[in-house]
Amino acid sequence: MKKTIQTLAMAAIAVVSMTSCEDDDAPQIINQEEVITTVTYTLTNAADTTDTVILRSVDADGEGPNAPVKTVSGTLTAGASYNGEVRFENELESPAENITLEVIEEGDEHEVFYNSTVSGVSISKTDVDVNGNPIGVTSTLSTGAAGTGSLSIVLRHEPTKPNNGTLSDAGGETDVQVTFNVTVQ
């Protein structure tokens, strides 16, 4: 009888041990935030494809201490409409990782927001996710009269969708945010 009780006690301990270890041994899925070192916004005039303006921000050390290097290849034409496409990359990888593909694939979890302080500049998103909500990888930028100001691009992860098109309504977390000085002539 004593041996039977010992055997049952050992079996109970073994079952509890196996059950309690299962959760610890299960792989944990961690969705790490992507590193985005480079943002390139290419604008091509819809009426004159030779009129292309490229806005590019390169943060060569990722989240390191050095500020990003920002370039704007030219000026926007007043009274024009441009087809825009933004590209997000991690150039710390070799070859560079195209994060844009993930943004498109997980479009229901991402949205690109544009904001310009240049009077008469408006930007409309032209692509949508599986639910019909805007993503913003492709866009149309329209210019008004000549002027100068800034143009900001913000990639948000897990924004509220649908939203009213503003960052404050969208919520979520900012994956990357860059601001360029632009001129319309």
pLDDT digits (tens, 9 = 90+) for 154-170: 999 999 999 999 999 99
Residue-range domain boundaries for the chain: 38-184
Q: Which residues, at least 6 apart from 152, have a Cβ–Cβ distance to it below 8 Å?
A: 113, 114, 115, 116, 177, 178, 179, 180
What are 55-80's pLDDT values in tens digits?
A: 999 999 888 899 999 999 999 999 99
DSSP helix/strand/coil, 143:
coil
The reported pTM is 0.82
SS3 35: coil
Of the options 3.30.300, 2.60.40, 1.10.3210, 1.10.150, the CATH number for the domain spanning 38-184: 2.60.40
Name the least confident of 15-29, 121-135, 156-170: 15-29
